[in-house]
Amino acid sequence: MAILPIQKTILVTGGAGFIGSNFIPYFLDKNKGYSIINLDKLTYAGSISNLTEVAETFRHKLIVGDICDKDLVNSIFKEYKIDAVIHFAAESHVDNSIKTPGSFIKTNIEGTFTLLEAAKRNWKTEYGHKRFHHISTDEVYGSLGDTGFFTEQTPYAPNSPYSASKAASDFLVRSYHHTYGLNVVTSNCSNNFGPKQHDEKLIPTIIRKAIQLDGIPIYGNGKNIRDWLYVLDHCKGIDQIFHKGKAGETYLMGGNNEYDNLSIAKHICRILDDVKPKKTGSYLDQICFVKDRKGHDFRYAVDATKIKTGLGWEPIEAFSPALIQTINWYLKKYS
């Protein structure tokens, strides 16, 4: 079998985490002319086991290290002649950011700065040809009421140390385009769900607590609303933005799946009642309410018109079938 020529080498940061580890196999399968250098610190939220699909390919190399390590990042740019960056790496759990905000400031702000500086230093006059794609979140826009949607023109209003650190990193990326001419794009997405998400997140927690016959904790009254985007749809959108997005622009991605947290818990419990029934009763009986977290945003919802009309992307995975796939993946993991 002929070996395909490698045309470009991309530095993917945080590629052993949830979204990154779903993105890498998809991207390499779709784009045969790329190789990926995957820089990941392998904190609690990342795992080598997330990368089994690409373990045997010569087009993926994992480097365990910190994006805040300037010497390491610069050496990667030089040794592997990095042509582009897709930057996933971030501390991302809001509760953790409330307890220990310092690590979020360091990774999300200082780490992004380190990557931007390395790109500026190593790409020099090729700024316009080598792309830096920054992955962010809709949480930077704050909280919505009962109506309305976030758009690319929505003013930033972060309400947690996590979202504030991501907002700061977004602005850093923007500044390197306007000040230095770096070819950047930023994408902000709604809540992702799917395989490989860390156990601490809402959907895995509901599944895990249910089958362990523990209380399923829901913050406050459970009426906080999120727009849910299946992770593979997000990966497809990132690919579109990376290849076709306009330099300096921001693109929002959402799944058109608005549900409050209590509805998500009930939906999962009803599916589990069908696919893994308890000996007696329903998993719904395990739902309990706990003290709401500080600064809990009420509602997120995304208007993805810009990427749909400009780049031809829209989510295609229906929510319920994708949620069933996700539940089945976690049932295997937790069995």
- Active site includes 180? no
- Active site includes 233? no
Closest to 87 (Cα-Cα) out of 216, 238, 196? 238
Reported in sequence order, the residue ranges of the chain that DSSP labels E, i.e. its strands, are 8-13, 34-40, 60-64, 84-87, 131-137, 183-189, 191-193, 216-219, 225-230, 250-253, 258-260, 287-290
DSSP state at residue 106:
I
| b/e sequence 141-150, b meaning 16+ C-beta within 10 Å | bbbbeeeebb
- Active site includes 239? no
Q: Which of 34, 127, 141, 162 is catalytic?
A: 162
Which residues, in sequence order, are bridge partners of residue 9?
35
The per-type count for the chain, helices as H runs and strands as E runs, is: 11, 12
Please tell me the distance from the alpha carbon of residue 121 to that of residue 116, in angstroms, as a whole number.
9
Q: Which of 139, 227, 258, 297 is catalytic?
A: 139
Please tell me the distance from the alpha carbon of residue 241 to that of residue 260, in angstroms, as a whole number.
29
Closest to 132 (Cα-Cα) out of 207, 77, 78? 77
Torsion over CA of 153, 197, 200 and 137, rounded to 10 degrees? -10
Please tell me the distance from the alpha carbon of residue 237 to that of residue 189, in angstroms, as a whole number.
10
Q: Which of 40, 66, 91, 138 is catalytic?
A: 138
User: Long-range contacts made by residues 207-210, C-beta under 8 angstroms, separation at least 24?
Assistant: 207/268, 207/272, 207/327, 207/330, 207/331, 207/334, 208/330, 208/334, 209/286, 210/268, 210/269, 210/272, 210/283, 210/286
Q: Which residues are catalytic?
A: 138-139, 162
